[in-house]
């Protein structure tokens, strides 16, 4: 059984999809040990509470886009106390750097709303739309010290329609996110993921 810690700053729909997949036994061999948010009233915390999953608001510096210093240590302490094997970033809007990466080497996984390496950073679905891309999508990847740059585990493409708005495109991308993220968790629980340099081999 692998224990997962989920970090999120917002709505928590990816967290909810994973929790639901665990509850319905679509995912076997994984449990969510703790949900942590850097946003006090984030919906992800309410969702965790409603499901009876331990959850915690741990403040992080308002003026920083990364997690570091004392606050990073608070996150590491909470995750270690919960005995987590893997950390899932489900809409966590801060960069993950040295300390936490060293504490959980190759154990941190992020979902990004674009077909990486295209459109890293923020509001990636909007970046794809504004750029005129014909396909957008989502990527699940290991986290390294760069921005959205770690080895890719899974991707799903979504066609961009002429009448898409940022909202309609993001909504279709999220449908795919809620499919591929639980699948990746199952692969991890089954020990089926191997990293060879930049490449992730499955099976
Ligand atoms: C998701 O679309 C996720 O890909 C994105 O935030 C959203 C969170 O939604 N993440 C990033 O942009 C990370 N840079 P959720 O809170 O409903 O799961």
Centre of ligand 1 from the C-alpha of residue 196, in Å: 27
- pLDDT by residue for the chain (203 residues), tens only, comes to 999 999 999 999 999 999 999 999 999 999 999 999 999 999 999 999 999 999 999 999 877 788 988 999 999 999 999 999 999 999 999 999 889 999 999 999 999 999 999 999 999 999 999 999 999 999 999 999 999 999 999 999 999 999 999 999 999 999 999 999 999 999 999 999 999 999 999 98
- Given this model, what pLDDT does residue 68 score? 86
- Given this model, what pLDDT does residue 98 score? 87
With b for 16 or more beta-carbon neighbours within 10 A and e for fewer, the 151-178 pattern comes to bbbbbbebebeeebeeeebbebbbebbb
Closest CA to 180 of 141, 148, 154: 154
Ligand 1 atom closest to 112 (CA): 4
Are domains 1-105 and 111-203 of this chain identical in fold? yes
Domain ranges for the chain: 1-105, 111-203
Q: Within 10 A of 16 (CB to CB), how many other CB atoms are there?
A: 18
CATH of domain 111-203: 3.40.50.170
> Does ligand 1 lie within 6 Å of residue 6's CB atom?
no
Nearest-angstrom CA–CA distance, 173 and 31: 25
Using CA positions, which residue lies closest to atom 7 of ligand 1? 91
- Given this model, what pLDDT does residue 62 score? 77
Q: CA 51, 57, 58, 63 torsion: positive or negative?
A: positive
Secondary structure (3-state) at 74: helix
In CATH, the architecture of 1-105 is: 3-Layer(aba) Sandwich (3.40)
Query: Which two three-digit tokens encode residue 72?
Result: 């990073």
Ligand 1 atom closest to 8 (CA): 16
Task: Provide the H-helix boundaries in the chain.
Answer: 13-23, 43-50, 69-81, 98-103, 124-131, 166-189
């Amino acid at each position: 059984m692998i224990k997962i810690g989920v970090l999120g700053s917002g709505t928590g729909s990816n967290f909810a999809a994973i929790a639901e997949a665990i509850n319905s036994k679509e995912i076997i061999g994984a449990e969510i040990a703790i949900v942590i948010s850097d946003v006090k009233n984030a919906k992800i915390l309410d969702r965790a509470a409603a499901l009876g999953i331990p959850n915690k608001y741990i403040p992080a510096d308002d003026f920083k886009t990364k997690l570091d210093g004392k606050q990073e240590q608070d996150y590491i302490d909470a995750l270690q106390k919960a005995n987590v094997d893997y950390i899932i970033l489900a809409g966590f809007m801060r960069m993950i750097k040295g300390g936490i990466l060293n504490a959980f080497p190759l154990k941190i996984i992020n979902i990004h709303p674009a077909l990486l390496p295209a459109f890293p950073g923020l509001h990636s679905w909007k970046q794809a739309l504004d750029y005129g891309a014909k396909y957008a999508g989502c990527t699940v990847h290991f986290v390294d010290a760069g921005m959205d740059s770690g080895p890719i585990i899974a991707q799903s493409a979504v066609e961009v329609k002429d009448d898409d708005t940022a909202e309609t495109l993001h909504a279709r991308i999220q449908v795919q996110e809620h499919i591929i993220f639980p699948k990746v968790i199952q692969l991890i629980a089954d020990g089926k993921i191997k990293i060879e340099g930049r490449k992730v081999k499955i099976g």
